[in-house]
Amino acid sequence: MDITTAQKLAWENKNLKGFNTTDTALEFGLLTAEVGEAFTAWRKGLPDLGEELADVLLYLVALAEMNGVDLDSEVARKIEKNTRRTYERNEHGTPIRTSAE
């Protein structure tokens, strides 16, 4: 499934179920909670990690729809931008960006 389709389906589900579609701050909070649940599933080796990651994606794409963001285009643009960036590791082994963009 592509991002655009996921974004539209997540939004349709929110509308059909009467979930939040107007409070952006609340949606960021709920997204953060879902990231926490995914982290806990990973940390504890729980079998529902994939489902929790799917929840993160669904909250994220719905948040994008709520704010008029075409996430499919933004992700493609960001991936292309990231490919142009260069990095070198510092003395601690941390990658530090060396390109201007």
Q: What is the pLDDT of residues 5-52, one digit of tens each?
A: 999 999 999 999 999 999 999 999 999 999 999 999 999 999 999 999
**Residues 59, 34: contact at Cβ < 8 Å?**
yes
Asked if 21 contacts 66 with a C-beta cutoff of 8 angstroms, the reply is: yes
CA 38 – CA 55 distance, rounded (Å)? 8
- When the candidates are 3.30.365.10, 1.10.287.1080, 3.90.1150.10, 1.20.200.10, the CATH number that belongs to 3-97 is 1.10.287.1080
Given this model, what pLDDT does residue 27 score?
97
pLDDT tens-place string over residues 52-63: 999 999 999 999
Q: Which residue's entry shows tokens 């939004």?
A: 11
Q: How do the domains of the chain map onto residue ranges?
A: 3-97
Q: For residues 71 and 90, give the distance between their C-alpha atoms in angstroms, rounded to a whole number.
A: 33
